């Protein structure tokens, strides 16, 4: 902050910011206590186009509030976060889910090996500068199996302290080669896009279940 005015980061937000946040607050962003966050998680789950996935990846999982809801729909779930405290909380929350693991890793430079048939990027990409966002989307795309699903959801109200705002994140994502939109959802607060790795061409939910 300078003279009371927020200054936008010129580079990706680093480890120190998240370690400080998790050290200072029991519930950063109100993930555990906010109806907004609870409802948004329900929208995310409803937007997934398949009932179950073989192998899923959730970067930036924070304390695992979404992870624990994704886990029942996955045969294997890989979660990562930059902050040690977040990783420990997520591990505790997922302790009774042996098919889910949580690793401390700094995406986009440390991405798990694919392939995945689902990747969920929730409230993450606006912390990255342009180069890191490009690396994230390319890395995720390359780890998705053909036809695999990428779900991205981000806050789109003003966030001048981050390198970029949520709308720009989704506008960039729409231009990534090798991905095609399956569904989109927009509210005043957040934007959600579901994309598929192509080819083959994207299929709607009705097509996936054999309806014409």
Residue 17's pLDDT is what? 85
Query: What pLDDT score does 4 carry?
Result: 42
**So where are the chain's domains?**
15-208
3-state secondary structure of 88: helix
DSSP state of 2: B
Residue 23, pLDDT score:
84
154-191 pLDDT per residue, tens: 999 998 888 999 999 999 999 999 999 999 999 999 99
> pLDDT exceeding 70 applies to what percent of the chain?
95
Using DSSP bridges, classify how beta strands 100-104 and 116-122 pair: parallel, antiparallel or unpaired. Answer: unpaired
Q: What is the pLDDT of residue 3?
A: 42
Instruction: Express each pLDDT in 82-133 by its tens digit.
Output: 999 999 999 999 999 999 999 999 999 999 999 999 999 999 999 999 999 9
The pLDDT, as a whole number, for residue 8 is 60
**2: pLDDT strictly greater than 60:** no
Stated pTM of the model? 0.93
Count of CB atoms situated within 10 Å of the CB of 121 = 22
More confident: 88 or 16: 88
**Residue environment code for 9-46, b if the CB has 16+ CB neighbours within 10 A, otherwise e:** beebbeeeebeeebeeeeebbebeeeeebeebbeebee
CATH for 15-208 is 3.40.50.150
């Amino acid at each position: 902050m300078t003279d009371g005015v927020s200054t936008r980061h010129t580079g990706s937000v680093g480890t120190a910011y998240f370690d400080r946040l998790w050290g200072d607050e029991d519930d950063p962003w109100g993930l555990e206590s906010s109806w907004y966050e609870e409802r948004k998680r329900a929208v995310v789950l409803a937007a997934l186009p398949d009932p179950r996935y073989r192998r899923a990846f959730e970067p930036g999982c924070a304390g695992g509030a979404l992870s624990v809801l994704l886990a029942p729909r996955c045969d294997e779930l890989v979660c990562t976060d930059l902050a040690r405290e977040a990783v420990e909380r997520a591990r505790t929350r997922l302790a009774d889910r042996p098919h889910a693991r949580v690793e401390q890793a700094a995406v986009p430079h440390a991405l798990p090996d694919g392939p995945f048939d689902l990747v969920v990027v929730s409230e993450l990409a606006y912390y990255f500068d342009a180069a890191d966002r490009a690396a994230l989307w390319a890395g995720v795309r390359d780890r998705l199996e053909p036809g695999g699903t990428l779900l991205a959801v981000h806050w789109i109200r003003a966030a001048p302290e981050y390198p970029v705002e949520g709308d720009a994140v989704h506008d960039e994502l729409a231009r990534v080669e090798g991905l095609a939109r399956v569904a989109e959802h927009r509210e005043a607060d957040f934007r959600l896009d579901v994309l598929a790795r192509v080819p083959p061409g994207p299929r709607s939910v009705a097509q996936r279940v054999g309806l014409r």
